[in-house]
Structure 1
Amino acid sequence: MTLQKRIEILVQLGQYMQENSEDWQEIKQKAFVHNGWFLPDFIDLSVNNITRYFLQTEVLQNWVSQYPDLAQEPASPRLVGIVMAGNIPLVGFHDFLCVFISGHRCLIKPSSKDEVLIKHLVAKIIEWAPELDEFIAFAELLKNCDAYIATGSNSTAGHFEYYFGRFPHIIRRNRTSVAVITGTETKEELEQLADDIYLYFGMGCRNITKIYVPQHYDFESLINIFKKYDYLADHHKYKNNYDYNLALHILNNKFYMSNAALLLVEEKSLFSPVSQLNYEVYENIEMVKAELNQSNDVQCVVGNGFIPFGHAQHPSLTDYADGVDTMQWLATLR
């Protein structure tokens, strides 16, 4: 199958996802029933991002044009095993997209938390192009692959290194995102910051889990704006996390600020548990930038002079996880 044909199939997939047919609606509802964290609005957000920023003809053509080797089909397509995460809906789609567009074969181990959507979309692709049945498959165990892409936590990364280390591989660990606030932000920007924090219950690597604020920053307006997401407190899984973390801070006599659906806690850590947002007060913004530049745990930084507020959850095709160019790496397998 030619590169152009693969692009056409991906565009057709994007159109299918946008048309929202009855069977696609049923699959999205099934995904929500399968995993209560995948609210219908969050599934639709992920789907819309994929169709808008990934699966457009011009977008795909501009992307592949950056990799001249893709113009020629690989003489011997490799089998690439993909271990997908399951923290947000279709979080592993970009890895699948990269392997598919590169002309290699892929063997996918989806997360048990997020297998409904990806299996359905792959089934659609094979329905339209049956010859791809030999190029895309699913498995519980990834054996006899030529290379691996595995995404997980810091603890599972050690297991991935053990099993896949002798093969060409990309292994991803925990990452998170932060925001730098200057105190000059508009109400609209703070509302967009709330999206960067709360969407997907804050579980994505591009979700803001820590903010840096200037000395004497007034949190009141920020907390009031965050009320737009108070409805998350009605979600029992999220509320259980909120109640648990709140109890810990009370028992430890630790200062915190809160609204109905978020705890604000002064912490150095970049990572925060579900329902909590860490903050740190800074004196010199340049020192904050230098610190973040040296960190291997930061996926993206939001703020004036960084990624614009509200854009953290809208990555482009070239916003590779961990900053590793997956397409360039796949080209080396040719």
Structure 2
Amino acid sequence: MDLEAKKKAFVTLGDFLRQFATNEFVKSEKVEHNDTFFSSFETLIETSVHYNGWFVKEQVLFAIQSWANALTEENINQWCSAYDFSIEPLKKVGLILAGNVPLVGFHDLISVLISGNIALVKLSSNDQKLLPLLAEYLQTVEPQFAERLLFITGKMEGFDAVIATGSNNTARYFDYYFSNVPHIIRKNRNSVAILTGEETPEQLTELSKDIFTYYGLGCRNVSKLFVPRGYDFEAFFQGMYAQKDVIFYEKYAHNYDYNKAVFLMSEFKLLDNGFLTIKEDVSYASPISSVYYEYYDDMEDVIERLKNDHEKIQCIVSNKLTADSIAFGQTQSPQLWDYADQVDTLAFLLKL
């Protein structure tokens, strides 16, 4: 299958998604196959919350907007420019997807397709609607994808390689079960922010997006802060205020009430602004509605700590304090070439 045909299909999908990038859906006569897919996708966006209570319209639209921004001709060409696509491996790649945030497994799917392999997709029970419709759109735009994109409902068999995402517990099972084939196994990871106390109000407001987008359910959500000893959290909480309406969502509010009660009953010292608690803790993974923090005395100690714990870290947010820092507010808007766990998925797939 010609690489340019694959690229064109992805660009066309990006055009389709851009119609839904805001609350006001705008149907364009220039977008292919709208008569077949526009109304169906519009309905799915509105009803996704019925299949997963965390997939409220606002969060689904954020995911769609991120993909609409990513799937441009310029971005796709830049993504592909670093690789040799002269040979299609045509291997069957099993994809075991997570479902914590909308379309979380879509990057793996398009990576398999553009690499010239065959995707055998095992969906998460928490995200079974959005991705199949986009897959159907791709197959309609480019019929050659029809034999290269299959959804598996039973036991996955006949695969040549696997990319599986799960918890630390399921990762041990995956490592054992898929040990005889090339594989990428993804475990739990968390994202952190390093603050100095010199951040601008705008940067802290942007940080609130890194914390609250998808209600904090993603591995790219900041769940831990490193702050200098004596840090005044007043400016931090002012930055978080932009997300105050999150408490009006019932599922989030229940988690906030429950986790706050657990912390208080355990007599932990908390800081609280009415919709977010922060707690001093050495762990990286905080519960929904809470962020952990840890004081530091020497920035170099923090940097060394994060280097040693790199297998636990997905993103580092800071004002360029580390070589791989992500700017405030950007963790949930990765580029096509920003790979999960810093493992080059496309290079792995092209070598099969």
TM class, shorter-length? over 0.9
Q: Deviations over 1:202-231 (max 9, x none)?
A: 111110000011111111221133122222
> Partner residue of 2:337?
318
> Partner residue of 2:299?
285
The number of equivalent residue pairs is 329
- What are the equivalent positions in structure 2 for 1:254-265 lying under 5 Å apart? 254-265=268-279
Post-superposition offset of 1:249:
1.5
* 2:122 is the counterpart of 1:133: no
Amino acid corresponding to residue 244 of structure 1 in structure 2: Y
Q: Which runs of 5+ in 2 are unaligned?
A: 21-37
Amino acid corresponding to residue 98 of structure 1 in structure 2: S
> Partner residue of 2:39?
22
> Partner residue of 1:89?
102
SS of 1:191's equivalent in the other structure is helix
Amino acid corresponding to residue 316 of structure 1 in structure 2: Q
Out of 23, 33, 49, the position equivalent to 2:66 is 49
Post-superposition offset of 1:30:
2.5
* 2:49 is the counterpart of 1:32: yes
Contact 1:3 1:73 in 2 (8 A): no
Contact 1:241 1:275 in 2 (8 A): yes
Post-superposition offset of 1:187:
0.4
Out of 249, 273, 278, the position equivalent to 1:235 is 249
Q: Deviations over 1:153-204 (max 9, x none)?
A: 1011112112211111000000010000000001000000111101100111
> Partner residue of 2:161?
147
TM-score by structure 1 length?
Answer: 0.96
Post-superposition offset of 1:23:
2.6
Contact 1:256 1:265 in 2 (8 A): yes
CA distance in 2, matches of 1:218, 1:224: 11
CA distance in 2, matches of 1:249, 1:304: 31
CA distance in 2, matches of 1:95, 1:221: 38
Out of 98, 107, 115, the position equivalent to 2:111 is 98
TM-score by structure 2 length?
Answer: 0.91
Contact 1:84 1:150 in 2 (8 A): yes
CA distance in 2, matches of 1:19, 1:308: 27
CA distance in 1, matches of 2:319, 2:239: 18
Amino acid corresponding to residue 135 of structure 2 in structure 1: V
> Partner residue of 2:231?
217
CA distance in 2, matches of 1:243, 1:205: 23
> Partner residue of 1:124?
137
Q: Deviations over 1:137-163 (max 9, x none)?
A: 101222110100001110111121122
Contact 1:227 1:260 in 2 (8 A): no
* 2:318 is the counterpart of 1:303: yes
Amino acid corresponding to residue 212 of structure 1 in structure 2: F
